[in-house]
Amino acid sequence: METDDIRWMETALEEARRAGEEGEVPVGALIVRGSTVAGRGANAVERLRDALAHAEMRAIQEAQSRLGDWRLDGCTLYVTKEPCPMCAGAALQTRISRIVYALADPRFGAVESRWRLWEGTSRQVAISGGLLAGQSLCLLQGFFAEIRRRKKAVASAKGARYLG
């Protein structure tokens, strides 16, 4: 891993934090070509009520718009959690050259963990996993712990009304 990889992943983690602050699952993504950010994205599924609004999809769309091409050859996708089949498919279709992800996703990961979307295709993609995985894991665990805490508080409040 290069020093630049760490810097870009830290930026993707900032996107993830922003998503978490907005009540979204904290996943962030960045598309980089050379030394320039071409696109960035944070999960916005709940806010936009759009199942396609994953961080990677939003970053890919922004990069395509900024670069003026649907092809993202020579670009690296930095993402805080291993891409799902939809996002990995979008990376494959847009010809992203490299994927660097933080946290593996054994349930839905489509790069290395559960499925390997590139197997059997002619596309070559360099893949690196595990960069700053601990930071990504902390964000996700904190987010879901807060959701459980809120649900428990609501359930306790409802129960208290019935006891009173």
Residues with catalytic annotation?
56
| Other beta carbons within 10 Å of 84 | 21
Q: How far apart are CA 121 and CA 102, in angstroms?
A: 24
Complete edge-to-edge strand list for the sheet that includes strand 36-42 = 36-42, 28-33, 75-81, 98-103, 126-129
Q: How far apart are CA 77 and CA 40, in angstroms?
A: 9
**Helix or strand run (H / E) with residue 133:** helix 133-163
Q: How far apart are CA 152 and CA 102, in angstroms?
A: 30
